[in-house]
Chains A and B, each alone.
Chain A
Amino acid sequence: MKQWFKSGSPWIWMTGGAVSISLISVIGLLAMIAGRGLGFFWPAEVTQFEMHRGDVKETVIGEIYDREMVPVERLKAANIDLHGFTGDEVERLLIKTGNREYVDLDFRWILATDIVEQSTPSQLAVFERSKNGNFYGYIESVIKDGKAVEESQKLTVLDELVERAVELNESALDLQNGPIGHINYDLERLRLKEKALDLKGELTHEKVAEFEAERKAYREQYLVLEKELFKFRDAAKRDQVIVKDMRGELVTIPLYQVLDVTLPNDMGLLAKVGHYFKQVGKFVSDDPREANTEGGVFPAIFGTVFMVMLMAVIVTPFGVVAAIYLHEYAAKNSITKMIRIAVINLAGVPSIVYGVFGLGFFVYMLGGSIDQLFYPEALPGPTFGTPGVIWSALTLAILTLPVVIVSTEEGLSRIPSSVRQGSLALGATKAETIWRIIVPMASPAIMTGLILAVARAAGEVAPLMLVGVVKMAPTLPVDMNFPFVHLDRKFMHLGFHIYDVGFQSPNVEAARPLVYATAFLLVAVIVALNITAIGIRNHLREKFRSLEH
């Protein structure tokens, strides 16, 4: 035994164990995020529990959300009746009961010992609503235009009616965000124009009258549109459905609040798969609802992608030029070496420091000056002197600059000097050599750097919290109002969405699966980007290795 220890073999096993632990945690982590994130969309069975607690008998309907084992001792200490249960541990279930406006809590823990009967009856319906979350219950009757629909047809009619209500709601929303939003935007621009003239002292009475006339025209347009909007809304309010909930009471749900009706217990596998992809589709294309705890994450996806693209546009030329300068033009001396080390180290500076810099320098200093020079009419309300998407992109560009520089330089240094010398020997100038030979050969390295930069930028949250991200942006940074791209606007971001919904929302339990789904989306994008970058890099290395020999 002593000999064995002396040979060092157990220590080799111990170091091997560390690799196993690392692998388990990496793969386990990714698998857990994937499992929980993707599982969220699967239509869960709705279970009906007949319960008795003490003398009270009640029915609980809901999805089983989580389960855990509780030591009996702890329950006994709390004086909980276990109905003569013997054993060390009792199972406890977390049930999502929905029906938020009729029960105290839409999540409740129940003890397995309290359950008398448990079933998954068919005909149990799940209503996805735009307000107050899900509703669970049995469909009693469907009211179409004030009249009850025939019993046998109620499900098909309900589907049609829900679709109609959803469409009407969408038209109303389109109207509101489209033409009506446009009018509001124009009115605001008119106000600023008027104020700008006033500041210059050029606001004459004729001008005032002109502005007033324009405003009046807008208001008239608005009234017409508003009537249309109300028409849509009224039409959507036409139908209702009457549902028997778990208390046994009949509840009328207006259909304009209903987004989707499913009977998960009656679904076949195919229907479930169909529903699954429908839910995934909704998740990536819908706006969030209920303080971000429900609905989709489209604005966050859009914001993240837009900001990152903007950043890529800024960072690529600067990073490449700096790398070319460092590698091709700068003198090969100790100063260049020190600069190179400094650049590498900037990649290790905490991201929050860049956030602080961005807030102070870009937002307050640069943005503040822009406001004073170009938007005096909007003051004291800031235009660019407040966190916004352009400042976020700039801050992250500085943050990822070292990544691009380092990667590009690595690519440049891999190009054999014989290639350069060959080009120069044939009479090309240095600039031509770089532009025609070196840069094309280094382009995969530049691409790698860019992808790594994008992957890093997409995952950063801390600096964005200071320079432009918000929990709920009313408008996207790109819309149909002139000048179409609004760089001064605040935006939503997947990473911040995770932080905000997971930690700032009032109903964390309800939001948790959504956070997992968002996290999975973000991880998938970033891991895919990184794997692409690693792939390109490896390919590149192989290519130049063959060139050298």
Chain B
Amino acid sequence: MSSNPPSVDFNTNRNRLIKDKLAKYSITAGGTLVLVALLLIFFYLLYVVQPIFASAHVEVRNQFTLPTSQEYIAGGMEEQGEIAYLFTPSGELSYYTIKGENFGNKLTSFNVEFDAAVTSFARTVPHQGMYAYGLENGAIKVVEPKFEVGFANNSRTIKPSIAYPLGEGEVTIDDEGASIRQFAFSYDVEESRLGVLAVTGDKRLLFSMLSAEENMFSGEMEWSSEVTEIPQEGKIDELLISPDFSRAFVRVANKVYIYNTRDIEDITQIQVLAANQENANLVKMQLLSGANSLMLVNDNGEISQWFEINGEQGRKFAKIRAFASNDGNISGLYSEFYRRTFFSTNTQGELSLYYTTSESELWSGKVSDSGIDFFSISPRSNAALMLAGNQLIVVDIENEHPEVSWSALWQEVWYEGYPEPAYIWQSTSASDDFESKLSLVPISFGTIKAAMYAMLFAVPIALSAAIYTAYFMSPELRRFVKPTVEIMEALPTVILGFLAGLWLAPLIESHLPAIMLILLLTPVAILLTAFFWQNLPESIRHKIPDGSHAILLIPVVLLAGYIAFALSPAVELWVFDGDVRRYITNELGIDFDQRNSLVVGIAMGFAVIPTIFSIAEDAVFSVPKHLSNGSLALGATQWQTLVRVVLLTASPGIFSAVMMGLGRAVGETMIVLMATGNTPIMDWSIFQGMRTLAANIAVEMPESEVGSTHYRILFLAAFVLFIFTFVFNTIAEFVRQRLREKYSSL
């Protein structure tokens, strides 16, 4: 033992202080980090969703001057947007670099050989990517620009070449040998079929189908053709043929003649459209991608979309919508490869982008000083080529998500082939040129419908039970009842969904009258029990402690349920002719799904009951006792005190309980996924299913391509859910906190 006074170890103290500071900073940093991570959810969802609302953008990449000695009639570019090609009337196909330092350099050129003079030129729809020359001798020659992509020394090389899909020779269209003045054609690569609609020098309109078969011996393709002459009056201005050879369109001044060419032996005129606007003339027609829609251009600048809809006289083309541009000098109309975007060019060098489904003009602006002669979009729709005078202009186009607009998501849209505008959710299909139908209305409707039925079932039961448990029930019983009901909140919803889909749905289907009877019998049975109880001698009544009605009623409710099920077949026989399902379908005219809203309502109701019960019970229970005691002391009955004092005081808490319940019902996924048919229909019927936002995400998300419009729309659905539940919960939580403060001051 030393006698020195204890020395203070300043070193250790400093270490401790440093440690303290360190702990403070690291905990603050860690805590903030976690909170930021939670914020991240919000911003990440927004970050993924945001591009779909970005507008389209077009920017000139570069331009160069072509030699004036030549005339050019068509052109295009390969997928990467690095090489462009141009056709001349004389049959020269030349390639140019359009990216990087060597912009505008001519790479190579090919000369197509002809047996006779060239008299006309045509191209297929963009995704077939073929061009053809019509000749003096009644034949055509089909040409396809080809690009071979190779990898060498870790870099990509693209080698342009030329291909003749029908062989090096020419294909005769007119056996009489008259010249081809004008023509349209389409080539089906998979089935090796070529369809040509042509006007000859002697003014005949011919439709020719050519099909190829492989020669068994030589392995060469042998073409055989069938030709039909279509009687057509007037001077033909334009010709179009649909890629599947089923429709031919012939424009004569302001009239469009439409022929059914599905069967070459029996070509019929199905409609004549007098399609021009008042005081205007038609100047151009074009097929939209997918070839269901015909686009017509008036010389006053109006562009109209027409497609076939079912009417009284069968399927007829009708004008669906119009896009007005103030400018009357439209020089050309071009459609994209797969999407419903189209482009218009005019003689002032302006370019406009439109999207038909969302009915919007995406972009419009001047890209050249002189009029645009032709335009060609790249296969990836991210660049385009334009010829204006002898300037070749390359533009970059940013147009990732033209399908989405406010009106496409939330308003009725007239989709191709539908008889009228409708709300449709149909996001995917097998074909590339499918018109996506991305209306969020049917699935939002389904969400609301499911939540509404669930609340209809849950709110009365949960609130009544909460009121009884908090206000009337004896404390010993309450200690058991409350956790028992709350345990159900922890029950995985997948189990509720599985029971709903595989046990409840068939049960309801076969015992529908029993369900209706339960609704009727249970309250009646409870009231009867109450009445008898009232009239029992006091000696018996006093044996059971106050506040255990609930226990007394358990056998009553069970009995009511049993009677309902026992009576079910009899009721079915008397009221519904022995088969409820048939009765509902035939007599009431309501469709009946096995997995319907009733099932969802009950199953999801069960999921929501504990949430509402727990919060509402807390609210009622924590109403200060002196308030109710005061009321009782002034002579009010128990019930009067409850309704006029307790519930009134607790009403914000009850409101917040219902809000929380609604939030849970809206976002519930597994129950709706398993207990409904997940069809996105809009119908309030209790016997039909629905598809909700949450279930829709669960069904479609795993299959959606990252970064696609569909992927982002699903994120939008998640974002909507997030905001919706977050706002509801925040309101509920605020109300609850206010209430707590109020109680503490009372």
Contact = CB atoms under 8 A, between A and B. Distances in A.
A329 B23 CA distance: 10
Nearest to A511: B502
Given A329-B27, A460-B492, A356 B522 contact: no
A235 interface: no
A401 to B, nearest CB: 7
Interface string A493-504: 001101100110
A287 B125 CA distance: 55
B430 interface: no
Contacts, number: 323
B484 A23 contact: yes
A169 to B, nearest CB: 32
Contacts of B639: 7-9, 11-12
Contact of B20 (A14, A29, A432): A432
Interface string A326-360: 10111000000001011111101111111111011
SS class, residues of chain A in contact with chain B: helix
Contact of A495 (B473, B490, B494): B494
A18 B473 CA distance: 12
A326 B462 CA distance: 33
Contacts of A278: none
Given A319-B34, A322-B35, A429-B16, A364 B706 contact: yes
B502 A361 contact: no
Nearest to A533: B490
Interface in A8-22: 8-22
Contacts of B230: none
Interface string B231-261: 0000000000000000000000000000000
B700 to A, nearest CB: 11
A218 B569 CA distance: 70
Interface residues of B, number: 112
A352 B481 contact: no
Given A17-B553, A346-B38, A23 B637 contact: no
Most chain B CB within 10 A, of A17, A357, A522, is at: A17
A74 interface: yes
A322 to B, nearest CB: 4
Interface string B673-690: 110000000000000000
B461 A22 contact: yes
A15 B16 contact: no
B667 A352 contact: yes
B497 interface: yes
B702 interface: yes
Interface stretch (A250-258, A472-480, A523-531): A523-531
Contact of B670 (A32, A33, A357, A461): A461
Nearest to B555: A20
B534 A4 contact: yes
B239 to A, nearest CB: 45
A534 interface: yes
Given A17-B526, A321-B27, A527-B487, A431 B668 contact: no
Contacts of A319: 34
Contacts of A341: 730, 733-734, 737
A321 B718 contact: no
A23 B485 contact: yes
Contacts of A32: 499
Contacts of A71: 569, 572-573, 578
B701 A466 contact: yes
B640 A88 contact: no
A419 interface: no
Contact of B733 (A344, A398, A465): A344
11 contacts: A15-B468, A16-B553, A17-B522, A17-B557, A18-B462, A21-B461, A345-B726, A349-B667, A460-B492, A519-B495, A523-B492
Q: Lowest 4 A-B CB distances belong to which pairs?
A: A8-B639, A350-B667, A325-B31, A459-B492
Given A348-B728, A458-B492, A495-B495, 5 more contacts: A8-B637, A16-B553, A18-B465, A350-B668, A496-B494
